[in-house]
Amino acid sequence: MNIALKLYLLLILCTYSGCGGNKKKTHEVRHSEVIYHDTLINLGKIGEKDSAEMSFGISCTSDVPFVVHKVQPTCGCTIAEKPKTCSKGDTVYISATFDPTGQEGPITKSILVYGNTKPKLRILKYEAFVIK
């Protein structure tokens, strides 16, 4: 076989066998875009035996629905609810309840929100002054 024929066959073989380099297939991860209407809520003065409720509003502004994977308060004195999935143009709320029992004076607490946004973590905060 002459050299030109061998090169031609090698070219055909490489073309059909994927010999054109390591083309890695990438999986595009799409992130949702949102607007947090509240990232810090001031509850004002509250009594130690009172509980306080709050809501943090989040609106989805992209075609990729906003999914909250986890809502995690940073202390046991707060209970927070994970919202449903939010579509473009909709607003969802993370509702939380703070129980100030055993606390006194100024406090600042956080709620961690993990979702399909970039960055994945958003920290929401609230503050209050607890009166005994």
| Order of strands across the sheet that contains 91-98 | 34-36, 52-60, 91-98, 78-80
> Residue 7: which residues within 8 A CB-CB, separation 6 or more?
none
Pick the closest to residue 115 from 67, 64, 71 (CA basis): 67
What is the per-residue pLDDT across 70-127, written as a single tens digit (0 to 9) for each? 999 999 999 999 999 999 999 999 999 999 999 999 999 999 999 999 999 999 999 9
Sorted by sequence, the CB contacts under 8 Å of residue 66 that are 6+ apart come out as 32, 34, 58, 60, 85, 86, 87, 92, 115, 116, 117
pLDDT score of 5: 61
Alpha-carbon distance of 99 to 78, in angstroms, equals: 6
